[in-house]
Amino acid sequence: MFESMSKYMKVGLVHFMAYPSTIKGEGPVIETVKKVALDDYFSVIEITTIKNDQDRQTVAKMLESAKMTVTYGGQPRLLTTGLNINDLNEEGRQKALASLKAGIDEAYEVGAVGFAFLSGKYEESTKEQAYEALVKSTNELCAYAKSKGSMRVALEVFDYDVDKKSLIGPAALALRYAKEIRKEHAHFGLMVDLSHIPLIHETIEESLIPVKDYIIHAHMGNCVVKSPELPAYGDVHPRFGFPGGENDVEELVHYLRVLMNIGYLNGREPAIVSFEVKPFGDEDPDVVIANAKRTLNEAWTKL
């Protein structure tokens, strides 16, 4: 591709995954956010909860000064606590809902343009009831977000039987769900992730084309799924080219090409496409980020 990448996409980084010591809202949040803000390769940063109010304000000012687009990942609020937004126990569902609403409040505080979450675990015997609980919760979240501003809300599609074991899920169910929510909430959509597609046992086309009209956010990453015996098996987001992994340059080329074919990347309005990569073992986060940038640079030349 001879045209500039920035014509098609705003390249982002999932901060709390690249720097996992910050995932619970503590640790070197300010220092690591500053690293991303200083790197003009990135136009977007995806952050999560920041427990200290003053630190959150500092980060908000820093990102505004850096002219970065900010989105907020509510996924850690559920994944680090065991909360489930489609919990069939109403008390449990309400706790998950309250946490995500608090996340929406934080997202507005830091100037985020989008808020993301994920569906929870489910039992096959009560799958339809879990689906209805998810729809109910999503409608409440979307209404709450809209009552406070214009922030978009996205559900990230995860695996349903390998690691996170989330309800949404396979493309057919993701489509049913997105259609239902979009009837009432135009600011809702789906987040897709290259690293999750092999975990869902779908091809890139099978995963993206059915839901093409509902994609509002995209992630790039890798996974290991060939064998539970392999290092980084599951939804661990190792670097591109990780031994035994599924995704490297050619798979990223394929993913970007499909995103172009379905119109998500269209050359008219740059769309968010963020790296979700995580250091494995004692790997240096900054080296893993450099790996991601080199991988995308090479992929772009092959489009």
Taking CA atoms, 248 is separated from 81, 174, 220, 292, in Å, by 32, 26, 10, 9
Average pLDDT over residues 147-159: 98
Handedness of CA 31, 37, 42, 45 (dihedral sign): positive
Q: Is the pTM of this model over 0.95?
A: yes
Q: Return the C-alpha torsion angle 39, 44, 50, 52, nearest 10.
A: 60
Checking if the pLDDT of 109 tops 80, the result is yes
Per-residue model confidence as pLDDT tens digits over 204-230: 999 999 999 999 999 999 999 999 999
Are 110 and 37 in contact by the 8 Å Cβ rule? The answer is no
Q: Return the C-alpha torsion angle 155, 157, 162, 165, nearest 10.
A: 30
The pLDDT value recorded for residue 2 is: 77
Per-residue model confidence as pLDDT tens digits over 164-202: 999 999 999 999 999 999 999 999 999 999 999 999 999
The pLDDT value recorded for residue 226 is: 96
The pLDDT value recorded for residue 26 is: 97
Q: Say how far apart CA 14 and CA 2 lie, in whole Å.
A: 27
Instruction: Give 5-302's CATH code, choosing from 3.20.20.150, 3.90.1300.10, 3.40.50.720, 3.40.190.10.
Output: 3.20.20.150
Query: Could you tell me the two tokens for 37?
Result: 């803000």
Q: How confident is the model at residue 284 (pLDDT cuts 50, 70, 90)?
A: very high
Tell me the average pLDDT of the chain: 98
> In this structure, what are the phi and psi dihedrals at residue 210, rounded to the nearest 5 degrees?
-60, -30
Instruction: Give me Rg for the CA atoms of the chain.
Output: 18
The pLDDT value recorded for residue 41 is: 98
The pLDDT value recorded for residue 58 is: 98
Per-residue model confidence as pLDDT tens digits over 234-260: 999 999 999 999 999 999 999 999 999
The pLDDT value recorded for residue 244 is: 97
Q: What proportion of the chain, given as a percentage, has pLDDT over 90?
A: 99
Nearest 5°: CA angle at 171, between 189 and 214? 20
Per-residue model confidence as pLDDT tens digits over 1-51: 779 999 999 999 999 999 999 999 999 999 999 999 999 999 999 999 999
